[in-house]
């Protein structure tokens, strides 16, 4: 599984400005929908918000990994945003987030969803990788960094 199979250039947004966590999550689902793999944006957003109620997906180190399993995607899909300004996200470490990776998986393919989530988490925990992401000036640069890290993985 490659990250570029889950996100595409249209689902990556740099310098995103948002007013709140709710605004951020809605936009992340919207960006994922650009893939054509989201069948019902409202139902997917509801699933993401329900997952977020269980426990914050702000995992620390300025990263949020919102995710959900749903019947409303045709296959695993994601979106990535680098926020213009850090956002309070109720993160586990109490710090605001700047890097957000949304992952939507099929309800019927939980194992795959967990493997992809684990891979994203591993990449995001790499300090060098995170700093490179924050320095990106285009969506293509973001995809190039993912591709480069996966070649060395």
**pTM to 2 decimals?**
0.94
- Say if strands 77-87 and 58-60 run parallel, antiparallel, or are unpaired: unpaired
The answer to whether 57 and 91 are in contact (CB under 8 A) is no
The domain in which residue 55 lies consists of 3-151
pLDDT per position as a tens digit, 9-58: 999 999 999 999 999 999 999 999 999 999 999 999 999 999 999 999 99
Tens digit of each residue's pLDDT (9 = 90 or more) over 137-152? 999 999 999 888 877 6
Helix or strand or coil: residue 136? coil
The domain that holds 127 is classified in CATH as: 3.40.930.10
Helices (H), the chain: 21-33, 41-54, 110-124, 127-135, 139-151
Helix, strand, coil shares, percent, the chain, to 5: 45, 25, 30
Instruction: Report the number of distinct structural domains present in the chain.
Output: 1
């Amino acid at each position: 599984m490659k990250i570029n199979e889950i996100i595409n250039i249209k689902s990556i947004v740099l310098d995103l400005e948002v007013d709140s966590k709710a605004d951020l999550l809605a936009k992340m689902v919207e960006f994922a929908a650009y893939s054509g793999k989201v069948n019902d944006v409202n139902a997917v957003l509801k699933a993401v918000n329900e997952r977020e109620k269980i426990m914050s997906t702000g995992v620390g180190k300025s990263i949020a990994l919102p995710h959900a399993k749903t019947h409303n995607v045709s296959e695993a899909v994601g979106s990535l945003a680098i926020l213009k300004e850090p956002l309070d996200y109720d993160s586990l470490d109490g710090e605001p987030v700047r890097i957000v990776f949304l992952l939507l998986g099929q309800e019927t393919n939980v194992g795959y969803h967990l493997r992809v989530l684990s891979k994203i988490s591993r990449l995001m925990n790499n300090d060098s990788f995170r700093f490179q992401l924050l320095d990106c000036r285009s969506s293509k640069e973001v995809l190039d960094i993912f591709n480069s890290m996966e070649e060395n993985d």
